[in-house]
Structures are given as structure tokens and as C-alpha cells.
Structure 1
């Protein structure tokens, strides 16, 4: 995936997402939840550091933008981003299920709190899909292409 293709992909994603928000008259701030974002990012950082180390992680992120990366690093980086995308989706599901359990355990007596707390549970899943589709899978595709061409 070339930089221009990635840029077009990101722009189209936000245009489609913005059109959905505009057509449903939804405020964009409802998609911001710091706790859910931290669950995804901190869990992924911990997994990355314990699995391969911070130096190797930085090497793989640099490889995405380095035109002179060797084939072995590109293949290893591609495997890393593929694994990271799976971890991201798993983390989002874990956050979602935790949120559902909290809603079912504490908010079923007073149903006016079920909707907002269910939305918080779902936003973790949204963040995981967002990171997977906009960052990790495109980075994997870039490194796959570099591994084939190197």
C-alpha cells in the first residue's frame, strides 16, 4: 500500500464516518471515552513490550516508513502487525465484555443508566476496530509489499 493509497483510505474512512454521523445527527464527542482508549492502548503496549521488547517494536514501526528496509525485517514486521491486529480485536472484546458485565451487575435495577453504560462498553470495541482497520492492517500490507519487492 503506497502512501497516497493509505492517505486516500484514511480520508475515505473519515468521510464515510462523518456522513454517517451527519445523517444520524449524532454528535462526534460521544465517541470519546478516555478509559476505553487507555484499556486498548495500555494493554497493547504491555503485550508488545513483554512479547518482543520496545527496541524491536520501534524497529517495526520505522520499517513501515523506511523505503530501504530488508526483506527479513519486513516479513517479521508484517507478522508483528498481523498479531497486533488480533490482539487489538481481542482487547476490544475483553473491554466490551467487562463493560457488559458491569452493566448487568449494577445498572439493571435503574434502567435509565443501561443505555449510556452500554455505549461505554461498545466504544472499547469501536476503538479496537478503528486501530485495527486504520493502523495495524494497513501497516501489515505495507510491510507485505516491501517483503515481496525486496
Structure 2
């Protein structure tokens, strides 16, 4: 067995794989949005030929362009690349649900999880079945994190 099987989260990811992955995401966005390289470049603050180089995985993107892409396309752009290093991007939607509604979301997840665990294991079909509840509870947790962060900033 190779090292990635033993230490998957801490394995070395090649720069070429990172660039290819970001490029594939840009290609998907280009196709889904029926955009041109010039359109992509306008969002990234680069020329159409530079955007094409990013899309083909031939060029390293700077932080400003990366953050512009994240702001415009959020997880569609960044999540496949972030997954290579064990992370994902989620937008924080502060204030989109009430505290009472958030309890409903959490309890719905707990109910489905308890049902799935009756046999001691959550299989792939059960995971897929509870995915909407997982996402709803996740959004609420992110909302609470953002609410706390805003309090810390305003009290700081």
C-alpha cells in the first residue's frame, strides 16, 4: 500500500493535480454558464488567454484571482480543489433561519440518523436519503458560527 492509503488527509498533493482540478472546475463553469474565456477572465481579473491557461491547468493562479473566482462561483469553483486537501467551501448565510426553525432542522437530521443507525451502520443509500437534513443542519451551524463571529468582532 502507498502512503495515501495510510495517511490520506496528510498526503502530498502535486501542484499539477491542483491546477488540473481548478482548471476542470473552470471548464465546468464555462460549460454550465455558456461563458467564454473572456467572461471567465473578466471575473478573475485576467485576460481571456490567461483564463484559458487556468482552465487547461497550465498556469498557477494568484490569490486575488482565486478569491474573485470563489466570490463569483463559490463551491462550484473551489470545492473540488479544496477536497484534495480535506476541506470544502460553504457560504455563510447569517440570519437566514430563526433559532426555533434551526431546532427543527437539527431534530430532523437526528431522527433520520437514528433510524439509519438501527442496524449500527449508515449505508450509502441512507446517507443520500438524509442529505437534505445534513445540509440544512450544516447551514444552521454555519449561521450560528457567523452570528458568534459577528458578536466577537463588534465586542472586540
TM-score, length of structure 1 as denominator length: 0.29
Which is bigger in relative contact order (C-alpha 8 A, separation at least 6)?
Answer: 1
Counting helix residues as a fraction of each chain, which structure ranks higher? 1
Greater Cα radius of gyration, structure 1 or 2: 2
